[in-house]
Amino acid sequence: MSLKETVSEVLHAILPITVVIVLLQFTIVRFPMDIFWTFLVSVILTIAGFTLFLSGVEASLLAIGELVGKSLMLSGKVGLLIGFGTAVGFSVTVAEPGVQVLAAQVS
């Protein structure tokens, strides 16, 4: 994915809520303008930060994941593939905060 596509993806995620807040600022809420300008600067910094983060993830983690997945598949060892997939799935499930909260509610 190119930098332009990444920026577009980030804008699609952030701009809708930004537009709603801007509309509320000029219709209902009316915060002081210094707070509003701080908000707009924060939105710009958030867009820049998410863009850098997603670019970094794509350049490093996704490439490593694809390489490991391809290597496991080409090894032909089904047991290793199943074991690795189970370990990764278990780790992701344990690390997910939503699953931990749900487990605490069930207990």
> Which tens digits make up the pLDDT trace of 10-35?
999 999 999 999 999 999 988 999 99
Mean pLDDT value across residues 50-77: 88
For residues 6 and 29, what is the distance between their CA atoms, to the nearest angstrom?
32
**Domains of the chain: total:** 2
Domain that holds residue 107: 76-107
Predicted confidence band at 36 (pLDDT cuts at 50, 70, 90)? very high
Same domain, 67 and 107: no
The number of residues in the chain equals 107
Same domain, 46 and 80: no
Which residue has tokens 């350049």? 59
* Amino acid 1: pLDDT: 76
Q: Does position 6 have pLDDT exceeding 90, yes or no?
A: yes
Structure pTM? Answer: 0.69
